[in-house]
C-alpha cells in the first residue's frame, strides 16, 4: 500500500537533493545549471519510481537503488527508443556532482549512530585502516599492471 504522505516527503527530499546536485554541478565543475535541469528531473523521476515500486512490493526484498538501476538501465539500452533522449539529458549531469549529497547523507547517517560506533571502539579503527590500506595497495597494483600493459610506464 502506498503511503501518500511518505511519498510526498520523499519527493520533497529528492527535490532538495536535485537542487544540491545542480549547485554542486555549477560550483565544482562549472557545468551549465540550466542544461542539467532536465537530466536532474529525470533522475528524480527514476528515484521516485524506484521508491514507489519498493513500497508497492514489500514482499520482494529488493532495495530501491536496485529498482532505480534497472529502470535507468532499461531506459538507456541502445535498442530502446528512449535511449537517445534519456542519455542526452542525463549526460549533462556531472556524475561527481551527484556524489556530494550522497556523501553528506552518509555522514549524517554515521553521525546518528555514534553511540553504536563507540561500542565498537578501537576495533573499528583497525578494521578501517586495514580496509584503506588494502584498497590503496590493491588499486596501485592494478594500476601498475594496466599501465605496464599499455606501455605507459
What stretch of H or E contains 94? Answer: none
Q: Say what the pLDDT of residue 45 is.
A: 96
> Who's near 3: CB < 8 A, 6+ residues apart?
55
Of 56, 51, 91, the closest CA to residue 71 belongs to: 51
The three cell numbers of residue 38 are 532536465
Residue 111 or 80, more confident: 80
93 DSSP assignment: S
Whole-number average pLDDT of the chain? 89
Residue 120 or 137, more confident: 137
Q: Say what the pLDDT of residue 84 is.
A: 95
d(CA 139, CA 153): 16
Q: Say what the pLDDT of residue 41 is.
A: 96
Residue with cell 552518509: 106
With a pLDDT cut of 70, the percent of the chain lying above it is 100
The CA distances from residue 65 to 5, 31, 43, 135, in Å, are 21, 26, 12, 24
pLDDT in tens, 59-104: 988 899 899 999 999 999 999 999 999 999 999 998 888 888 888 8
User: Per-domain residue ranges for the chain?
Assistant: 4-112, 114-153
CA atoms within 13 A on the CB side of 58: 4
Residue 111: pLDDT over 80? no
d(CA 81, CA 149): 39
Q: Say what the pLDDT of residue 1 is.
A: 77
Amino acid at each position: 500500500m502506498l503511503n501518500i504522505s511518505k511519498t510526498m516527503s520523499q519527493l520533497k527530499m529528492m527535490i532538495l537533493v536535485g537542487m544540491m546536485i545542480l549547485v554542486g554541478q555549477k560550483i565544482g565543475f562549472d557545468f551549465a545549471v540550466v542544461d542539467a535541469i532536465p537530466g536532474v528531473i529525470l533522475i528524480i523521476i527514476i528515484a521516485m519510481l524506484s521508491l514507489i515500486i519498493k513500497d508497492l512490493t514489500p514482499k520482494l526484498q529488493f532495495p530501491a537503488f536496485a529498482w532505480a538501476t534497472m529502470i535507468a538501465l532499461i531506459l538507456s539500452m541502445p535498442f530502446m527508443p528512449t535511449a537517445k533522449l534519456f542519455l542526452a539529458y542525463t549526460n549533462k549531469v556531472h556524475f561527481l556532482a551527484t556524489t556530494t549529497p550522497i556523501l553528506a547523507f552518509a555522514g549524517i547517517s554515521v553521525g546518528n549512530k555514534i553511540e553504536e560506533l563507540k561500542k565498537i571502539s578501537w576495533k573499528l579503527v583497525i578494521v578501517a585502516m586495514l580496509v584503506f590500506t588494502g584498497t590503496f595497495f590493491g588499486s596501485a597494483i592494478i594500476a601498475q599492471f594496466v599501465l605496464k600493459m599499455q606501455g605507459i610506464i
